[in-house]
Amino acid sequence: MSGPERTFAALGDPTRLELFEALSRGGPATATDLARDRPISRQAVAKHLGVLREAGLVAAERAGRETRFHATPEALEPAARWMRDVGAAWDRRLERLTARVRGA
């Protein structure tokens, strides 16, 4: 899987989406920090962060014994580009349909 597929697969899980949003809004955090306010274990958070990392949506920096994760929102660009392209294609189809209906 590559490009938008990885992004959609990673963010398709509500917990991963929430973690990505938390890192995007709140800045770098450890798995322990992120688990503190959630009803899941630190280990579960770490697994979700691993999926986000594989998709390129978060990066990890090791500082001593801690690993701090931060969002890499630029990784959303392939998915955003795909959505723009699909949206533009639908806009063209709707414009042709509207022209046809008005011409009938």
Question: Could you tell me what percent of the chain has a pLDDT over 70?
Answer: 97
* Rg of the chain, C-alpha, whole Å: 19
pLDDT of residue 2: 64
Measure the CA–CA gap between 56 and 63, rounded to whole angstroms.
Answer: 20
Residue type for position 95: E
Domains of the chain: 4-103 (1.10.10.10)
Amino acid 87: pLDDT: 80
Beta strands in 1-104 (DSSP E): 58-63, 66-71
What's the rounded mean pLDDT across residues 93-104?
83
More confident residue, 76 or 53: 53
pTM of the full predicted structure? 0.80
Which residues, at least 6 apart from 2, have a Cβ–Cβ distance to it below 8 Å? Answer: none
Q: What is the pLDDT of residues 6-15, one digit of tens each?
A: 999 999 999 9
